[in-house]
Every structure is written in structure tokens, then in C-alpha cells.
Structure 1
Amino acid sequence: MVALVLSAGAAAAPARAQSAAPDGERLAFDRGKGNCLTCHVIKGGDLPGTIGPELKDLKTKYPDRSELTAIIFDETKRNPQTMMPPFGRNRILTEQEISAIVDFLQTL
């Protein structure tokens, strides 16, 4: 249901992406919140990890933002062996924060 709620805002994503991308970038680079840099190389990020794949060309790889949203929300549903924390399921990030991170990742 959460994926449906998050994907419902996809129609407004282009207009929202420009305003939310800075918030998403801040969250993705924040070592205490999103912390994407712990595992991923992201252009513009300092001291990235290499456990996960480099985050680039994600809009091409995931043109439907709901798939990327679902990965961040709970990657264990798709890949039970993942090391990626279920950010949404474990309430590490809110739905709005996940959406902002997706907005940012789609600009890479």
C-alpha cells in the first residue's frame, strides 16, 4: 500500500523534482539519516562506500519511480539477501524523505 501511496505522487514528480532534489541530496549525504554514501558512490559525495552499486543513471535504469521507491522502502522484498536496510519498513526514513531521495537520485 505504501508503494501505491508513494507512486500516486509520481504524476507531480517533474514539477516537484526540482524543489525536492536539494532535500533528497541532503538526506542521501547525511551520515545520520539516509546515509546512502556509506555503501554507494554518488557524484558529489565525500568518502563513499563500495558495498552497493554506484548510484548513477537511475532515471534510465528505473524510469518508473515506484520501483526505486520500493527498493529504498524495503529492498528485502526483492532481494532477501541484501545488506541494504529497509529504510521505510524500519521507519528510518519517512515516505516524504524517501520520495525526496528518489527525486534526487533521478537527477544523477
Structure 2
Amino acid sequence: MKHVIGLGFATAFAATMVFAEPVDPTAVVYEDGAVAVSLSGQAGDPDNGAILMNKGSGNCIACHSVEALSHLPFHGEVGPPLDGVADRWSEAELRGIVANAKVMFDGTMMPAFYKTEGFTRLGDAYTGKAHADGSVQPLLTAQDIEDVVSFLVTLKEE
């Protein structure tokens, strides 16, 4: 009977993890800038996180240098180097920083990657016009945030 109950609990727990809904950008709970729970309800993929560090709406290396990605060109110097970032910040803090660094660091130049409201004069790409329907999508999805964070937690001092 123990195995049946244990299996039932494990199945129920796994189902909640697999089918968890992403946290809406307007519902993210920041505690001193940190976000304790996965925004997607899923574990992150560090390999995809490494890709996002260089491409698309992430493009973290445009501002930050990352030795683990030294094979990629054009690392920036605007933000601090990300080498050893997992030794300086917890996973929850990294999630909060990637989602909206402005919560932790007032006045930072880092974009809010998981924010959809509260902007001033937000334009629609390079059109010079405001968003037509008023809706704004975050720069990264909840799963993208989790993927980037899962890559960042691998960046420890050696």
C-alpha cells in the first residue's frame, strides 16, 4: 500500500509541475528583487539558455561578457561580467534580475525582460508608432527566463 500511495503522490506532484501555468508578467512576486518560484512552472534548459544569451530578445552578451561563451563574438562591457554570477546571486535573485532588474537595481540600464506594463513612451519596434492594440508582450517568455537562469546558475568561479 505504501508504494501505491507514494506513486500516487509522485504522479500528482509531477502533474502539477508539468502542467503548471506560467506566471503572468503582472503577477510576478518580487521579494527584495528575487523571484522564488519558476515563472514557467518548468525547469530551465541551460543549453537553450546559452543560446538565448547570444540571440533574439535575450542577447545578454551584447552588454555582458561571459567566458563560457568566449567562442561567440562581440561581448559587451556595459554590464558586469557574468563569470561567477552563480556564486554572487541565488537562483531566485538571478530570476528576479533577468525578469526585471529594475526591481533590485533602481536606475539600471538593463531591460526588464518579463514586463508588460508601466512603460513610458513604448514604441512598436522600429516603426516610430505606439503599439496599435495597446498590448505589449514581454521580451522573453517565462520559459526563456527559466532557461537563461538555468544557464546562469552554471557560471561559478573555478
TM-score (norm 2): 0.56
Structure 2 residue 153 is the aligned partner of structure 1 residue 106: yes
Matched with 2:59 is: 35
Residues 22-78 of structure 1 deviation map (CA, whole Å, 9 limit, x = unaligned): 000001111x2201011000122321110000001122111x211111011111112
- Which one of the candidate residues 37, 56, 65 is aligned to 1:8? 37
Alignment size in residue pairs: 100
Question: Match for 2:154: what amino acid?
Answer: T
Give 1:2 deviation, angstroms: 2.2
Matched with 1:80 is: 106
- Which one of the candidate residues 48, 56, 60 is aligned to 2:75? 48
Output the CA distance in 2 between the equivalents of 1:80 and 1:60: 22
CA RMSD, aligned part only? 2.3
CA 1:65–1:79: 2 relative to 1, 3 Å: same
- How high is the sequence identity, in percent, across the aligned residues? 31
Output the CA distance in 2 between the equivalents of 1:106 and 1:71: 13
Task: Give the number of the structure whose alpha-carbon radius of gyration is greater.
Answer: 2
Output the CA distance in 2 between the equivalents of 1:56 and 1:78: 20
* Contact 1:3-1:69 at 8 Å conserved across structures: no
Structure 1 portions without partners, runs of 5+: none
Q: Which runs of 4+ in 1 moved over 4 A?
A: none
